[in-house]
Structure 1
Amino acid sequence: MGPERESNDSIEAEWNFLVRSAANWDNRPGDYPATWVPPIMGALADAARNSALSQFYPFISHARLCFSTGRRHWLGEGDVLPVCIALLPGGSYSVAHRHDPAKVLLETTSPEEAVAAAVDALKEYLRS
């Protein structure tokens, strides 16, 4: 069973949930075959939370860390931003366009480098 959400809709509450979810993901039982991702979500969640990306609502979709301008983007309450960070089976991260994962901006083993590339790609969306 995964972590529970806090009862408020704040961005901070969503980041708290993401960090708990990432720890849950990384601590899942079992072996990590080469066809799936090793436990690297927690490092990515921490790096993203400590960056300019923390002003957006985070969510995980298909082993990708994505960002939105609203908590319930699927209900039209906010827009999903055009860049996400995917976890790759080899233990690395891929920063890519949300709708075209083949448009890779960066592949790296460093969560900080992945976050920096995402911040750079999303600079027009960032508040100063």
Structure 2
Amino acid sequence: MVSGGKADDSIEAAWEWQAQAAEAWDERSRTSTTTWIPPILAALVDRARDSALRQFYPFTSHATLAFSTGPRHWLGEGEVLPVAIALAPEGVYLVRHRSGGALLETASADEAVTAVERLVEEGLKGGGQTATRAVPGPSDDDRG
């Protein structure tokens, strides 16, 4: 996400980078014998990019597509949404809450994204500390 020596912090640039990285990861997953991660990330990123989730910054960590309200949540520039979509070895998507609880298991990227959209919308409407309200990322608590 660097253009002309300058970082592009736009959401569009973040989604483009994530899409390219997902394609590369899926290609590696198809040809590698050293990874358990199924080659289903690009389909998930494409579907999420075409949804209401495009208003958030995407990032991946530990085979999970997550979303933030800012480009560098680890520096306090945004909050990580408490729901994300993990890839499972069986080739399915797991909609998960940050506390670790699985909310949905599906083979469909569309179903996974739709579930996250609904959870985020419900959490934002609720305004309180709910399972879907954006909360600080794990590293935010570690800064003391």
TM-score range, shorter chain: 0.7 to 0.9
SS of structure 1 residue aligned to 2:71:
coil
- Paired residues in the alignment total 118
Cα gap change, 1:121 to 1:82, in 2 (>3 Å): same
User: Structure 1 stretches of 5 or more lacking a match?
Assistant: none
Pair member with larger Rg? 2
User: Structure 2 stretches of 5 or more lacking a match?
Assistant: 126-144
- Residue 56 of structure 1 corresponds to 56
* Residue 30 (structure 1) shift: 1.5
d(CA) in 2 for partners of 1:17, 1:76? 21
Mapping of residues 16-35 of structure 1, within 5 Å:
16-28=16-28, 29-31=31-33
- Residue 109 of structure 2 corresponds to 111
* Residue 60 (structure 1) shift: 0.1
Cα gap change, 1:37 to 1:50, in 2 (>3 Å): same
Cα gap change, 1:77 to 1:59, in 2 (>3 Å): same
SS of structure 1 residue aligned to 2:81:
coil
* Residue 118 (structure 1) shift: 0.6
d(CA) in 1 for partners of 2:37, 2:90? 7
* Residue 31 (structure 1) shift: 3.0
Q: Residues 54-82 of structure 1: CA distance to partner in whole angstroms, max 9, x if unpaired?
A: 00000001000000000000000000011
Higher helix proportion: 2
Moved over 2 A (4+): none
SS of structure 2 residue aligned to 1:71:
coil
C-alpha RMSD of matched pairs (Å): 1.5
